[in-house]
Amino acid sequence: MERNFSTAEQLTAALRAGEVTSAELTDETIARIERDDDAINAICVPDFDRARAAARDADRARARGEDRPLLGIPVTVKESYDIAGLPTTWGMPPHRNFVPAEDAVQVSRLKAAGAVVLGKTNVPVGLQDVQTFNEIYGTTNNPWDHRRTSGGSSGGSAAALASGFGALSIGSDLAGSLRTPAHFCGIYAHKPTLGLAASRGMVPPPGPALPVEHDLAVVGPMARTARDLTLLLDVMAGPDPLTLGMAYHPTLPPARHERLRDFRVLVLDEHPLIPTGSAVRAGVGRVADALADGGARVERDSPLLPGPAEAAVLYTKFLFSGSVARFPVEAYEQLQARAAGLSADDESLDAARLRGMVISHRDWIEVNSLRELHRRGWRQFFAEFDAVVCPITPTPAFPHDHDPDLMNRRIDIDGVEYPYFDQLVWAGLATMPGLPATVIPAGRSPEGLPVGVQLIGPMFEDRTPLRLAELLEQKIGGFQPPN
C-alpha cells in the first residue's frame, strides 16, 4: 500500500526512524489531493502554504529531540471547526465570508500534538443531512462510486481518508455524522461518550465560540485503523480548559478485555421500526461470525436491552427539538397546529419528529426523565455485556438525492422505500443515552460498496469498543483503498 494510505502509527515510526520528513509527507499528500480531489471534492478549504510551514516546523522540532503524539502527521479538519484565518461557513451561503479569529479547542489540540493541518473538509448545509453538498463548495462524492453520497455530515472527512488525503481527520456526530460517512466510505470512526471531548469552536457561524455543553452532539476522531482512532481520541479527550478543565483531567478506564474470547457481545441486525437491508445484515453477520470464531460469547437477544422502539422515538424528539429554534414565528405556529392535530396514540417516527419540533420545556423534561431510565437500563445491560454490535444505517451508500424538501426523500431498502430520516434510528441507539460507539469496516455489498457496523460500549469506557474494534480488525481485516 502506498504511503498516502499508511496509518498515523506507521508514519510516526517512519518519522522517528528518519526514513521520511514531515515536509516530504505533506508534499506527497498535497500532490495526491491536487491530482485526485477534483473528482471527489472532499477538501473544500485547502491550507497548503501553512501546512508546508507547519511541516517544516515539525521537522525542526524533531531534530531538536521533540516527540509529540502527532508530530509531523498530515491531517484534515471538518469545515465546521473554526481555524483562525480560514472561512467557517457550515455550508450556509450567508456566512460564506465569515472568518474566525481563533482556533477551535480541538484544532488547538491537534496543533499542540504536532499535527500538520492540510485544510478543511466539506459538509452539508448546517450539518443537517446524511449527504454532503452545499451551494458554496458543491457535492462530495463517494470514493467508491462517484454517483453515490459519501455520507454526512462528516462526509468530506470520510471521503478524504478513503482517498488517502491525510492520515487522520476530526468530525462530529449528532445523528450518525461520524458513523454514517465511515460506514459509507469504508473507514473507522469513533463517537465518544457524550461530554468526553470539548467542542468549543465548532459552532454555527458567526459564533461566538462559547464553552457550551451540547445535548446529544459530540466531536470525535476518524482514521483508517482502530489503533489510530485511539491515538487521536487521546489527543481530543478532555473537558474545555475554560470550564470543567480547570478542575479535572480525564482518566479513561482501560478496555475491559484484551482478548477476543473474553468479550460478551449482543448482536442486533433488525430494528422494530425499520428493516435492515441484506448487505448490511450480511456485514453484521460477518462480524458476529468472527466474534464466535474468536471465542467471544455472542448473544442475539437479551431482555436487558432498553427498548429500541421507545429509544428511537425519544431520540427523534430530542434530535428535532433544536431544529426549529430560529424558524419564523409563522412557520413555527404552523408546525404547532399540525402537531396538535396528531392522534394521541400516534407513536410513529413522523409524529415524533413533529412533536419534537414544537416540544415544550415541560414535555422536554418528561422526555429527559425517560432518557435517564434508559441510561439506567444500559448500566444494567453492561453489567452482563461488554458491547453491542449493530448497523449504522440500513443500507450502504445510496445515490445522491438533492431534493430540497428532505421530508419528500426516501431511502430504498432492498427495493422498498421508507422515509428518509427513519434511517437514523440506529445512530440514535447510542446517541440518545450518550454512549460511545466505534465504526469498523465489515466487508462490501454485492455492488462492491463498503459496509460498516458500530460497536456500542459502556459510558466513558470508550477503550472497550475501541479495543474490540482493534481485535476484529486483526480477525476480519480493515480498511482497503477504493478500487
Q: Which residue numbers are catalytic?
A: 78, 153, 177
**Mapping DSSP to helix (H, G, I), strand (E, B) and coil, where does residue 86 land?**
coil
DSSP code at position 267: E
Task: Write the CA distances from 33 to 53, 113, 133, 137, 414, integer angstroms.
Answer: 18, 23, 19, 16, 35
Cell of 328: 419564523
**Mapping DSSP to helix (H, G, I), strand (E, B) and coil, where does residue 119 land?**
strand
DSSP code at position 252: P
Cα–Cα distance, 82 to 87 (Å, whole number): 8
Comparing CA positions, the residue from 317, 351, 294, 291 lying closest to residue 428 is 317
CB 317 within 8 A of CB 359: yes
Q: Which residues contact 344 (CB under 8 A, 6 or more apart)?
A: none
Comparing CA positions, the residue from 37, 79, 291 lying closest to residue 164 is 37
Q: Which helix (H) or strand (E) holds 168?
A: strand 168-173
CB 479 within 8 A of CB 225: yes
The amino acid that residue 342 corresponds to is L
**Mapping DSSP to helix (H, G, I), strand (E, B) and coil, where does residue 78 land?**
strand
Cell of 115: 499535527
Comparing CA positions, the residue from 101, 100, 50 lying closest to residue 80 is 100
Cell of 422: 427513519
Q: Which helix (H) or strand (E) holds 285?
A: helix 278-293
Burial class (CB in 10 A: 0-12, 13-18, 19+), 228: buried
Count other Cβ atoms within 10 Å, centred on residue 416.
10
DSSP code at position 274: B
Cell of 442: 465489515
DSSP code at position 112: H
CB 171 within 8 A of CB 189: yes
Please report the DSSP string for 409-458 in residue order.
-EEEETTEEEEGGGGGHHHHHHHTTT--EEEEEEEE-TTS-EEEEEEE--
Cell of 360: 415544550
The amino acid that residue 72 corresponds to is G
